[in-house]
C-alpha cells in the first residue's frame, strides 16, 4: 500500500494499478544481493491498516522473528508524503530517527519518483531501504530466515506444495487482493462491474474449495492462507461499503466466515489485527472516495470470537510445529482496535 506526491484526493479519481515493487533486493542466507540475513540489522516498517504489510506482520509472528527483525508501525493516516511515524515520541521512529518512510527511500535512491509503500525493510546501519517487494518479503522470511526461526516454527511455504501454493496465491492476488482495489478505485461503471464481479466469482470458488478442507493447500496453514486472510479480515469493515464490494458480506457466506474466524482465533492472526487502524486509514486517507472522511461505527466485531467448528475438518494448523507464544511486550494491538 503506497502513497504518492499527488495526495490523498487522487484516490478514486484514477484506475487502480498495483505497480511492481521498484526495490527488489532480497535478504538471503547467502547474501546474494549483498544483504545477509542478520539478527537485529534490519527494521520492518508496516502499517497495521495495510493488507500487504499485514502479511509480513503475521509471518513474522508465526515464525518467531520478533527479536531478529524489529518492527516499526506507521500512522494509519498518511499525509501527502505518505507513511509517517507520528505514533512515536517526537514523530520519529526511535531506531531510524526519521519522520517519514520516504526518507529511507531517498537514502536508497535520491529523487525516487515512485510511491512509498509498506511493507518495507530498512537497513538500520545505513538508513537505506533494502526492499519494498511485498510479494517476496514473506516468502524469504519463511525460507531464507530459517536459521533465526523460533523452535517449532511452522513451514509456511513447504517445498513439496509450492507449485499449488503459487497457483492459488496467483488467483487470490489477481481477483481478491487486488480485485477489491480495482472495484473501489474504479472510475467508470464497466470497470467497476468487471472488478466487483471478479471478486465475488473468485470468493465463491474459494468457498467451494474450503467447504471440505480447513486450509487452502494441504492440512496446515501456508502463505496462501495468510494472503487470503488479510483481505477477508478487512472485507466487511471497509471493502463491502467503502469499496462497494457489496453483493454480500463476509458474515453472510457460511464457509468463508467460518474459515476467517478460524484463522482470526489462531495465534499470530487475530492478535495482529487492528480494526481501528484499518478503518481510519481507508475512510480518512481515501478522501477521493469518502470526501467527508467520516468513519462508520460498524461493523460489530464480537462475531470474530464466536465458535467456528472448522476443527471438525481436521488439519494441523502448525503442522509438526507449535503455536507462537504470547505477543511480546510493546507489540500489543491497541485495545480499541480489537473485538
Q: What is the largest CA-CA distance in the chain?
A: 55
Q: Of these residues, 42, 50, 245, 259, which one is catalytic?
A: 50
- Catalogue the long-range contacts made by 283-287 (C-beta closer than 8 Å, 24 or more residues apart): 283/238, 283/242, 284/77, 285/3, 285/8, 285/11, 285/76, 285/77, 285/78, 286/8, 286/11, 286/12, 286/184, 286/242, 287/8, 287/9, 287/11
Active site residue 196: no
Cα–Cα distance measured from residue 145 to residue 69, given in angstroms and rounded to the nearest whole number: 10
Cell of 27: 535478504
Nearest by Cα to 131 from 32, 123, 30, 177: 123
Q: Of these residues, 100, 181, 215, 259, which one is catalytic?
A: 181
Torsion angle of C-alpha atoms 135, 193, 293, 117, degrees rounded to 10: 20
Active site residue 245: no
Q: Which residues are catalytic, by number? A: 50, 181
Amino acid at each position: 500500500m503506497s502513497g504518492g506526491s499527488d495526495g490523498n484526493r487522487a484516490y478514486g479519481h484514477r484506475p487502480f494499478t498495483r505497480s511492481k515493487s521498484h526495490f527488489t533486493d532480497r535478504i538471503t542466507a547467502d547474501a546474494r544481493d549483498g544483504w545477509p540475513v542478520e539478527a537485529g540489522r534490519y527494521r520492518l516498517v508496516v502499517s497495521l491498516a495495510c493488507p500487504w504489510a499485514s502479511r509480513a506482520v503475521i509471518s513474522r509472528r508465526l515464525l518467531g522473528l520478533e527479536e531478529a527483525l524489529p518492527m516499526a508501525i506507521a500512522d494509519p493516516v498518511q499525509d501527502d508524503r505518505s507513511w509517517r511515524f507520528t505514533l512515536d515520541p517526537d514523530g520519529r521512529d526511535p531506531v531510524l530517527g526519521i519522520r517519514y518512510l520516504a526518507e529511507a527511500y531517498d537514502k536508497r535512491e535520491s529523487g525516487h519518483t515512485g510511491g512509498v509503500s509498506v511493507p518495507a525493510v530498512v537497513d538500520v546501519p545505513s538508513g537505506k531501504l533494502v526492499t519494498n517487494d511485498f510479494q517476496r518479503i514473506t516468502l524469504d522470511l519463511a525460507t531464507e530466515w530459517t536459521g533465526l526461526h523460533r523452535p517449532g516454527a511452522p513451514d509456511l511455504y513447504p517445498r513439496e506444495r509450492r507449485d499449488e501454493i503459487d497457483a492459488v496465491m496467483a488467483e487470490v492476488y489477481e481477483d481478491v487482493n487486488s480485485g477489491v482495489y480495482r472495484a473501489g478505485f474504479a472510475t467508470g461503471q464497466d470497470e467497476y462491474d468487471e472488478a466487483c464481479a471478479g471478486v465475488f466469482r473468485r470468493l465463491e470458488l474459494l468457498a467451494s474449495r474450503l467447504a471440505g478442507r480447513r486450509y487452502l493447500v494441504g492440512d496446515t496453514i501456508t502463505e496462501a492462507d495468510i494472503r487470503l486472510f488479510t483481505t477477508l479480515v478487512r472485507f466487511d469493515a471497509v471493502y463491502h461499503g467503502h469499496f462497494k464490494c457489496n453483493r454480500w458480506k463476509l458474515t453472510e457466506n457460511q464457509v468463508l466466515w467460518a474459515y476467517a474466524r478460524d484463522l482470526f482465533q489462531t495465534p499470530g492472526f487475530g492478535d495482529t489485527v487492528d480494526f481501528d487502524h484499518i478503518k481510519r486509514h481507508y475512510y480518512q486517507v481515501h478522501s477521493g472516495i469518502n470526501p467527508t472522511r467520516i468513519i462508520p461505527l460498524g461493523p460489530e466485531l464480537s462475531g470474530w470470537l464466536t465458535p467456528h467448528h472448522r476443527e471438525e475438518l481436521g488439519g494441523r494448523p502448525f503442522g509438526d510445529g507449535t503455536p507462537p507464544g504470547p505477543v511480546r511486550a510493546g507489540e500489543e494491538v491497541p485495545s480499541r482496535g480489537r473485538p
